[in-house]
Each structure stands twice: as C-alpha cells, then as structure tokens.
Chains A and B, each alone.
Chain A
Amino acid sequence: MLAWTIYISFLGAALLMFLPGENPRPAKVAALLAALAGLACAAKGAIECHLHAGAGALTDVANANWIPELGIRYHLAADGISLVLVLLTGIAAVAGVLFSWNVENRSREFFALYLALIGGVYGVFLSVDLFLLFVFYEVAIIPKYFLIVIWGSTRREYGAMKLALYSFVGSAMVLVGLIAAYVMAGARTFDLAALAKVHFAPAFQNWAFIVVFVGFAILAGLWPFHTWAPTGHVAAPTAASMLLAGVVMKLGAYGALRVAMTLFPVGLHTWQNTIAVLAVVGIVYGALVALVQQDFKFVIGYSSVSHMGFVLLGLMTLTQIGLSGAVLQMFSHGIIAGLLFAVVGRMVYDRTHTRDLAVLQPKNLNQVLPFAAVTFVVGGAASMGLPGFSGFIAELQVLVGAWQTFPVFAVMAAVGILAGVAYTLRVLLKAFFAEGQVEAREPLHCPRISLPERAGALLLLGTTLLIGLCPQLLLDFITPSLNSPLMQPLWKAGTR
C-alpha cells in the first residue's frame, strides 16, 4: 500500500505532463486527487504497519531484484520514523495543492513537476536500498529548479540555480560516501540493514561520516551551508516554498539520520560535538537574522534554518529523547513552516504583491485579511513553541536531550527560542497589527480568502494542534523505531 504513494505521484505527474489542453481546472483537480490519494495511501499504510508490526522494525513494502550486476535491489520498507515523514509528506502535498489553486499560468506543467517532486520525496522516505534512496533523492532536485525558475518571484533564476547547485553538490558528497561504503564493505550490496552491520574501520568512518552527513545536511539547512534556503524559499512560488521547507529540508535530515549516522556510528561519535556546535549556531544565527529582515518571506526562510537547527541538535544528542524530539520536530516544522509560507506567499503576497514589511505596515492587514491574520497568529504561536502545538513538545524533547548530553548548548538553544518569540512577534506586529497611519492608507481591495486556502490552512492548523495535544499519536511510531535493531549501533556509539 505504501509503495503506491510513490507510484500515484509519478503517474499523476506523467498524466499531467501529457494531458492535452491549457485549461487549468482539470490539472488542479487531478493534482489534488493524486495528492489526496497519496495521503490516503500513506495513512492506510501507516495504520497497517502500526497494527501489524508495532515493534518499529523495518517492514518490507517492496523488494525485488533491480540491477543484479551491482547487487542493487528495488527495496522499499518503512519503520516508524519513515512513516511519520511519509505522513508529513502526504499532508504537505495536499496543502500545497490547495494553496496553489490560483496557479493559472502553465498549471499543467506546474502540477506535473509538483507531483514529481512529491513522488521523489516519498521514495526517499521509503527506500532502504541506498542506491534507490539516492535515485529518489536526486529525482527531487530537478523539479525544484523548474518550479522556482518558471513560477518564482524575487531573483528566481539566481535562487533556483543556487538551490539546484547546493543540492547537487550535497548529493555528490553523498554519492562519494555511498560508493566508498559499498566498496569498503565488499558485500556487493547497498542494503541499509546489511551495510549497517558492517564494522567499517574507524579512520574510514571518520571521513566518510562527515562527507555523507554534510552532504545530506546541506539540504537540512546546516549552518554554514544554509544560504540556499532563504534565497530559495523567497524565490520559490508558494507551494514550492511550502514543500521546500516542509518536506525537502527533511529529506536532508532524514538522510543524515538514516544513512550517515546509521552506517558510521564511530565517525558520528568523532564529529558529534562539532556538528552540535554548528546546529546551535544555526539555531541562534537563523533566529537573529530573521529578527532584522525586511522581507516577510525572508523572516520565515531564516526561521526555517533556526528550526532545522533543532532537528540537527536533537540528532546529535544521541539520546532517545533527543532523537525522538528531532523526528517530531521534522514533522512539526514541516507543518508549521508550510502554514507560515502559505500565509506569506499565497494569502498576503498574491494579493498585495509585496512582502516588504515597511510597505505592509500601513496596510492594516488584520482588517483586510482577517483570516490570514488569525492563521498567522496561531501559526506563529505554534512556531514559537507554545504549549498545545506540536512545536512545543518537539523542541522540549530536543532541549531535554541536549541538556543530558551538552548542557551549555541547551541553554544557547533556549536563547534561540527566545529570539524566535521575538521575531515572530515583530513580524506579526509589522505585517498585520501595525497601529497608526491608518489615515494614510488607501482602501485596499483584494479578493477574499478562498475556500481552498481556508481548507489548506485548517488542515495544517488542525494537524499541528492534534499533535500538540496528543503527541503520543506520533511518538507511538517514533519510540519503538528508535529501539529497533537498525538503530542499535547508534546507542552503542553514544555510550562509548
């Protein structure tokens, strides 16, 4: 069932690519149906896996010989961690289509690329043959480029190329590491579980780990390789920013956990502190830069860097609670960032045609677009990490884990949370609730918030609230997976 998430997305993409006619309506409907079907498959697969194999071990979804010459298999499998991210992808995909309902220009191609990207993302989360994982990982790069360069806004050619090249350099590093691991293991297999059992020499692990980890972490917005993220987010059309921040950055974090950390635990131990430092710098730096941005979207872009810092910090704690927080934060940030980008890009920018906070200030948007204002208030609260939203429980877990491993960083990360409160409130005030100057503004006429937008916003808000109030729903998936045999080398390295 889970494998159909991938097939439906790619089939939808192919169908849209060759659908005749320029009428945007069938394209939108088809894309929405494909995204919904993907979400349904993901949910059904998640429930099935949950019922049948509660232990959190990898459950096979598909396994067939692919390229026998190199021992490569078409092997899809899921455990709790990948299921959480597959669910996130499904939700983000549906929301993204809803928020792209106003794409009229070449909408067929838009949604075809969109679905191809989604299919690649599903594929990465479900692959356990590392060659296959890499294939899907690269499949996701190219649609991003086109989504930005064709439908983007501010400096789109620059942003798109920067994003594509950063991604490609990252995947090149991953490729080198994978080939080296394949050769060193000498087992003629790319299977994750088989390679994880190999004890690579420590000297080899030390360099291979950092190459593969950084290769993936570039996409997760690891400071100082994060610079593609804000420019890419700003240049991208709304749905693409939502996916970029919502799921593509998670590809990086997921790959870092699944591949780099699982295969090279000794190397992980060597680099643990260094990467934790980078993660904390990312948290604080991202938040502080977000505090002074004039472009509404840059604020959210840098806040993504900051929030993804929590994911990486959580991974580096090498404690159960820290890792669980990291995975939960991936989910939570995927939902919240998607929501915030939707408000900025779709609700505000598409109507006012500006994202400059100084220009937005006198427009008194809370009266013109009350729904957008309310959504942003709630989304901002979730982003700040207020209790009751998913971000709270995720960041709390990361901080607890960090406190156990490196207390100083926990304190610094907490400072990052404070800065997060500051920039969220600042942007909230400037964009929606600025006082005064009301007399100077001309009445702003803009279309009301449409039904798809409301539906998308409610979907995302509902998800973050649901997980915030009942985190156990996801923790039931995550916790057993952290104890699965696959993850055992990690804990051994952590306690060494």
Chain B
Amino acid sequence: MNLYLQYLTALAPEVIVVATALLVLVMDLVLVREKPFAQRVGLTGAIACMGCGLAMVWVELVPCSIHSAMLSVSPLTQWVKVPLLLLTIFAAVLSWNERFTRHAGEYFALLLLAAAGLMLLVSSESLLMIFVALELLSTSLYALAAFDKSGVASSEAALKYFLFGGMSAAFTLFGISLIYGIAGDIQLDVIATRLRGHPVEPVFYAALVMTLVGFAFKLAAAPFHLWAPDVYEGAPTPVASFIASGSKVAAFFVLARILLSAFPGARGTASLGGHLPGWAPLLMVLAVLSMVAGNVAAIVQTNVKRLLAYSAIAHAGYALLALLADRRHALSALLFYTITYAFTVLGAFAVVGVVEESGRKASLADFAGLSRRAPLLSFCMLVFMLSLAGIPPLSGFFGKFYVFTAAADTAPKLSLLWLVVLAVAASAVSLYYYLQVLKQIYAVAPAPASAWPRPALSARVAIVLLAAIVIVLGCVPDLLLGKISELLKSNSF
C-alpha cells in the first residue's frame, strides 16, 4: 500500500495531466456542447492550461525520488518536466484562437495526452516504458497533426508523420529487442552493468544502429528527416510548434539517458583520426548530415514553416554535438540548448500562426512589411530568428556556444574540433536565410491594400513572454544553467 502511495506521489504530475485530459473531454461533451465555439475553446483550453499548471506546481513543491525497474523519478527528471509543461501551456494558449477545428475537447485532450507522454518519457527507466511513452506521445501527435480537416495538407502531413513514425517505432523496437538479447534486461542501469567491458560486436552495433535510427526519425535528424518539412507545413500551426519544441526536448533527453546511462562503455570515438566503433561515430554521421542538409535546404525555402523545419533539422545536428561531449558537460549543454531552442521555435511558430490567422499563408512574401503593421510582433520575430541564427545576447547564441565549447572540450582535447568548425560554418550559412525572413518583415514594403486584424490578446501575450524568455535566458544564462548544473551535481540522472 505504502509503495503504491509512493508511486502515486511520484507520478502525480502525469496523473494530473491525464485526469485533466479526461475532464476536458467530459466537459466539452456534457457541459458546454451547446455554447458558442469561442467559449468552448476558451473554457477547455483554460482547464487544460490549469491542469498543466497544477502539475507544474506539484513538481516544484513535492520533492520525490524513486528508482525502480520501470521508473526513475529524480529531482532532475522532475525538473525537466517543468519546461515541458510550460511548452504545453504555451501551445495550448496559442491554439485558443485557431479556427481549424470544431472539436475543442478532443483537441486539448490529445494535447494533454501528448504532454503526459512527454513526461513519462523523461522518467522512464526501462526500454519498454520508453517505447510505450514514445508511442503515447506519437499517437497523440499523429491525431493532432490531422486535426485541420478543412485542408488536404493536414491529412497528408498526418499520414506522412504516421508512416514515418510507425517505421521508426519498428526500428526502435527491433533495436530494443536486440539489446534485450545481448544484455538480458531492459532496465537501463542493469544494461549498463551487464554490458560493462562488452566489445562492440556486430550484433551490438546493429542494436545501436536500430535504436538510433528510430530516435533519428523522432528528432528529424538527416537522413531521416524527410517527414519534417511536410508535417511542419501541413499540420495546424500550434501542433507543428508543439512537435518542433516539446517532443524535441523530451526525445533528446531520453536519447541522452539511453546512451549515457545504458551504454557508457560503447561510446567509440568520433574524432577524425582513430576510429572506434560505438554510438559516437553514429551520432557524428547524423550530426554532420543534419547540419549540412538542413542548412543547405533551408536556403531555398520560400515558406516560413518549411524554412523552420529545415532549420530544425540543422538544430538537431547542433544538439547532437552536445551528446558527443564529455559526460560532465554533455547533458547540461544538451538541456540548455534544447530547452532554449524549444521556446524560440515555439515563438517563431506562434508569429507564423498570427500571420496565418490574418488570412495570409506562411510564404515569405506574406511577411512583407509586417513591422509597419505590428511592430511588437515583428520585434519578437526578430528575437526568435536572431536567436535561432545564434546572435548574442539571445539564448540561442549561448546554447550554441556552450554546445560547441563542450564538444571541443571532449577528451582528448580538440579531437572534435573539426565538427565544431563545421557547425560554426553551418551556422554562419544559416544567418542568410534567417535574414531573408527579417528582410521581408523590416525592409520590404507591405502590400498596399491588405487587412491586418489585431491579433488576439492571448497570442500576443504568449509571444511577448516567449521573446522575453529568449532574451533573459540569453543575457543571464545562469538562471537555467545554474539550476541544471546543481541538479546534475546531486545525481547523474
């Protein structure tokens, strides 16, 4: 009994989120069915946000630590849920004014279930739990991506996402089964003890490759990135922003957990000189391809959502560099980078969403002269774009800087410098396309007769808050970094 209670306290945030999802469904079905749509969305959305907020408060207030075969709830994993919930809240707020669906309850319920998937993912300890959480997340996201029934693009996006995602899940599962075959267990730390000193033989290598392929799909790392541009473009904008932000953070975190805590011995090397097999060379290949493919393809995009998709691929490449770094810095660099990136890209999508709501599309030309109509919004977009490009004093700059420094610091010193050089060069290229967007906003004159309805208050507030987060975390990175390093000192995972 006592044990169950302990589990319940540990999993209370997830429980709260799932309960809220059910509540939202019931509310929409029973209480507000006949109300005008705006009220329904407002009410269900508000409850969804409150549920997430409650879960956040719980995470903050109730310290909890459990380590079992299924779950590992530590201060670190609990803390990671805070930005994830925050991202969910922002995504929910941005959905408030979208008009792509009549199904308010189902929409927010799915969003909350996806959030629950994210949270479970973060604190899973066994490979099977990780798989289950990943599927909960993915299935909700497939359905969310298809939510815009007015256009064929959304369905196409969802189908593509589903097919690619299903493939990747199959790969992951195959990899997991091979790992189980080798190590005889699915619990991460047990795998680590069983595999200590185990050579990276072909079967083991195949298991690593398979698992990584699955995650590379989820992270949209090249060459498994093909779904991303279509999904980002076709899915409803708030959904796309959630796919690009929250699911990235959780997927990177869990990938780091698997690699660093289950396979610390199978690292191998990614330096140009001596090649040792392991997961590091695999990540290196993914990182190089992602940085190059993402940045090159983004240059020619004319749709801002597709541009963001390719830039997301490039950013997955940068973030993979963090995983190659020494353990001391790998996780904190990765967390700082992915969390700040998530807030930035969420903000960028939010601005795109506002522009779309004014009856425009998301092509570059639709942003022409935005600064004349919406100066504050344009300034926020400036912040997001420059942060993505890595311009100080925005958080994207310090994230990149930390990742690059951590990668260069990997023992033996400067062995990964060539990757850092490539990444720095790639991000120099990326400035070009981010400036293309900003040029449209600031330098090109707006189309003469086009209406610009004032965007909804909630969206404006959310965007300004996101921009403030990006600026503040860039100027005072220690706010986030100090917390992360404090947590990492107290426990490894």
Contacts and interface: CB of A to CB of B under 8 A. Distances in A.
A145 B435 contact: yes
Contact of A138 (B391, B420, B438, B439): B391
A184 B417 CA distance: 11
B413 A183 contact: yes
B interface SS class: helix
A165 B442 CA distance: 18
B405 A149 contact: no
B442 A183 contact: no
B397 interface: yes
Interface string B375-412: 00001000000100001110001100110110011000
A150 B439 CA distance: 8
Nearest to B425: A172
Contact of B405 (A68, A157, A179, A184): A179
Given A69-B332, A164-B435, A183 B428 contact: no
B478 A66 contact: yes
A131 B438 CA distance: 26
A165 B432 contact: yes
Contacts of A184: 413-414
A180 B477 contact: no
A141 B393 CA distance: 12
B379 A17 contact: yes
A67 B409 CA distance: 17
A145 B417 CA distance: 30
A175 interface: yes
Interface in A143-166: 145-146, 149-150, 157, 161, 164-165
B26 interface: no
B321 to A, nearest CB: 12
Contacts of B481: 67, 69
A109 B371 CA distance: 10
Given A69-B332, A69-B485, A70-B402, A172 B392 contact: no
B427 interface: yes
A7 interface: no
Given A17-B379, A179-B405, A165 B413 contact: no
A139 B482 contact: no
A168 interface: yes
B421 interface: yes
A187 interface: no
A176 interface: yes
Contacts of A183: 405, 408-409, 413-414
B128 interface: no
A175 B424 contact: yes
Contacts of A223: none
Interface size range of chain B in the complex = 35 or more
Contacts of B405: 70, 179, 182-183
A141 B438 CA distance: 14
A400 interface: no
Nearest to B371: A109
Contact of B392 (A138, A165, A176, A182): A138
A68 B408 contact: no
Given A165-B432, A168-B428, A179-B420, A67 B443 contact: no
Contacts of A67: 398, 477-478, 481
Contact of A176 (B379, B420, B431, B439): B420
Nearest to A211: B421
Contact of B391 (A66, A131, A141, A157): A141
Contacts of B428: 165, 168-169, 172
A378 interface: no
A105 B393 CA distance: 28
Contact of B414 (A69, A150, A157, A180): A180
Nearest to A170: B428
A121 B391 CA distance: 15
Contact of A180 (B393, B402, B408): B408
B413 to A, nearest CB: 5
Interface string A306-326: 000000000000000000000
Contacts of A175: 401, 404, 424
A103 interface: no
A134 interface: yes
Contacts of A135: 392-393, 397
A142 interface: yes
A149 B371 CA distance: 14
Contacts of A69: 332, 478, 481-482, 485
Nearest to A108: B375
A66 B476 CA distance: 7
Contact of A139 (B393, B409, B431, B443): B393
B410 to A, nearest CB: 9
Nearest to B332: A69
Contacts of B397: 135, 138
B233 to A, nearest CB: 26
Interface in B259-313: none
Contacts of A179: 401, 404-405, 408, 420
Interface string A167-199: 011001001100110111010000000000000
A109 B402 CA distance: 32
Contacts of A169: 425, 428
Nearest to B379: A17
Contacts of B413: 183-184, 186
A161 B435 contact: yes
B427 A172 contact: yes
Contacts of B332: 69
Contacts of B478: 66-69
Interface in A107-139: 109, 131, 134-135, 138-139
Interface in A346-405: none
Given A149-B443, A150-B442, 20 more contacts: A67-B398, A69-B478, A69-B481, A69-B482, A69-B485, A135-B392, A138-B391, A149-B442, A150-B443, A161-B432, A165-B431, A172-B424, A175-B401, A176-B424, A179-B404, A179-B420, A180-B408, A182-B408, A183-B413, A184-B414
20 contacts: A17-B379, A67-B481, A69-B332, A109-B442, A134-B392, A142-B391, A145-B435, A146-B438, A149-B442, A149-B443, A150-B442, A157-B439, A161-B432, A172-B427, A175-B404, A175-B424, A176-B421, A176-B424, A179-B401, A183-B408
What 3 A-B pairs have minimum CB-CB distances, sorted nearest first? Answer: A135-B392, A172-B428, A172-B424
Interface of B: 332, 371, 379, 386, 391-393, 397-398, 401-402, 404-405, 408-409, 413-414, 417, 420-421, 424-425, 427-428, 431-432, 435, 438-439, 442-443, 477-478, 481-482, 485
Interface of A: 17, 66-70, 109, 131, 134-135, 138-139, 141-142, 145-146, 149-150, 157, 161, 164-165, 168-169, 172, 175-176, 179-180, 182-184, 186
